[in-house]
């Protein structure tokens, strides 16, 4: 946040602020007929189903501004919404952005936030078409709604997994959670001492996964190229264990996931050891990975295995067998949803 040259928000007023932040936004999608500047945006979709998702992010609950730069926060706020649209096998097209801002923020802070937001939108060809700003007495609140599209026959739900389907994940898991643990540790050190420089050498990947996650547009494109339509799909925001249980619950099935097949980065493993944490627990329950978890028919095994950055980690079973992790020594442990609970 800006401490030096600050321009107070009150110097512009609400409408002046909105104009200042959105003045240079250019629309890139043909479906966006009219964006910011009227009472409502105008969108036109033909022969497509429209996908809508919303995320609300609260300071002190979802993010900590002690170690989260506002530019990164803007980027991440957009990415988590794009990820939901990709998880439905769709394409994000527009977002609306609403902010509640307290007096400790200045115009330069909001410029940083919007810079990150716009960068994410440019990378994924998404239009910013509206939103709102208001004052807040409790810090920063961010609400983003993302609108996407897909052909009716292409939409993938959580409820389509069938017995013998393969369970696949993209990328690696647990890195974002270890990035959060690292930040929390450095914050604790920083709180207790002056002139302390955080030591992140060799841990850059973990920080990037936590502060700057990437929605997996590339995987959706690769699946389409390979002619694969997943039978069920979700993005991993609350942890692999929770998301698997959602799919199994809605698809009325069970699953077996193999511990040795869960993809984990070397830096994640080193960090888990440093923190004396169980590595598999971090990967299963950490959350905020924003990777894709999906199921495909067994007949697609060879095709899906050839897609870069996709790992087959298990299979779907009969519902009466339940959801279990098969450990390295062959024991079965019941999967539990230990992801983040915002109400605790």
Q: How confident is the model at residue 326 (pLDDT cuts 50, 70, 90)?
A: very high
Average of per-residue pLDDT values in the chain: 93
Residue 343 scores a pLDDT above 60: no
- In this prediction, residues 101-129 reach a mean pLDDT of 96
pLDDT at 12: 84
Q: How confident is the model at residue 187 (pLDDT cuts 50, 70, 90)?
A: confident
Residue 344 scores a pLDDT above 50: no
Q: How far is CA 49 from CA 81, 93, 228, 258, in A?
A: 17, 12, 19, 36
pLDDT digits (tens, 9 = 90+) for 223-262: 999 999 999 999 999 999 999 999 999 999 999 999 999 9
Q: Pick the residue with more confidence: 24 or 262?
A: 262
CA nearest to 73, candidates 89, 93, 97: 97
pLDDT at 342: 45
Lowest mean pLDDT segment, chosen from 17-26, 61-70, 143-152: 17-26
CATH number assigned to the domain with residue range 9-154, chosen from the 4 options 3.90.1170.40, 3.40.50.720, 2.60.40.3500, 3.30.1330.10: 3.30.1330.10
pLDDT digits (tens, 9 = 90+) for 286-325: 999 999 999 999 999 999 999 999 999 999 999 999 999 9
Residue 325 bridge partners (DSSP): 257, 333
d(CA 314, CA 337) in angstroms, rounded, equals 17
pLDDT at 82: 98
**Cβ atoms 148, 92 nearer than 8 A:** yes
d(CA 15, CA 118) in angstroms, rounded, equals 19
Q: Tokens at residue 2, please?
A: 């800006």
pLDDT digits (tens, 9 = 90+) for 59-80: 999 999 999 999 999 999 999 9
Residue 328 scores a pLDDT above 90: yes
pLDDT at 337: 77
pLDDT at 271: 95
- Which residues, other chains included, contact 28 with Cβ-Cβ below 8 Å and sequence gap of 6+? 125, 126, 127
Q: How confident is the model at residue 16 (pLDDT cuts 50, 70, 90)?
A: confident
Q: Is the dihedral of CA 266, 269, 275, 276 positive or negative?
A: negative
pLDDT at 201: 84
Q: Specify whether domain 166-334 bears CATH 3.90.650.10.
A: yes
Q: Where are the domains of the chain?
A: 9-154, 166-334
Residue 125 scores a pLDDT above 70: yes
pLDDT at 9: 85
- Assign 257 to helix, strand or coil: strand
């Amino acid at each position: 946040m800006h401490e030096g040259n600050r321009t107070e928000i009150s110097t512009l007023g609400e409408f002046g602020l909105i104009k200042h932040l959105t003045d240079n936004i250019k629309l890139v999608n043909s479906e966006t007929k009219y964006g910011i500047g009227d009472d409502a945006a105008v969108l036109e979709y033909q022969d497509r189903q429209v996908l809508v998702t919303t995320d609300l992010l609260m300071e002190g609950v979802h993010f900590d501004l002690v170690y989260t730069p506002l530019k990164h926060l803007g980027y991440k706020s957009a990415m988590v919404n794009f990820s939901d649209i990709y998880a439905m096998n769709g394409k994000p097209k527009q977002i609306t952005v609403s902010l509640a801002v307290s007096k400790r923020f200045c115009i330069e802070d909001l410029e940083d936030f919007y810079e990150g937001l716009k960068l994410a939108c440019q990378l994924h060809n998404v239009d910013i078409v509206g939103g709102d700003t208001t004052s807040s007495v409790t810090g920063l609140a961010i609400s983003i709604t993302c609108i996407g599209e897909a052909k009716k026959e292409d939409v993938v739900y959580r409820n389509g997994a069938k017995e013998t389907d393969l369970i696949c994940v993209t990328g690696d898991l647990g890195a974002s959670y270890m990035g959060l643990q690292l930040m929390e540790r450095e914050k604790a050190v920083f709180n207790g001492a002056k002139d302390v420089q955080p030591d992140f050498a060799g841990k850059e990947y973990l920080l990037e996964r936590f502060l700057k996650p990437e929605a997996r547009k590339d995987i959706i494109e690769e699946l389409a190229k390979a002619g694969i339509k997943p039978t069920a799909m979700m993005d991993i925001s609350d942890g692999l264990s929770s998301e698997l249980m959602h799919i199994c619950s809605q698809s009325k099935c069970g699953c077996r996931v193999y511990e040795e097949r869960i993809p984990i980065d070397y830096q994640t493993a080193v960090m888990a050891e440093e923190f004396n944490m169980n590595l598999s627990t971090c990967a299963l329950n950490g959350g905020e990975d924003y990777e894709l978890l999906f199921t495909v028919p067994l007949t697609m095994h060879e095709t899906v295995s050839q897609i870069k950055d996709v790992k087959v980690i298990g299979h779907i079973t009969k519902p009466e067998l339940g959801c279990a992790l098969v450990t390295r020594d062959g024991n079965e442990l019941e999967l539990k949803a230990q992801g983040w609970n915002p109400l605790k």
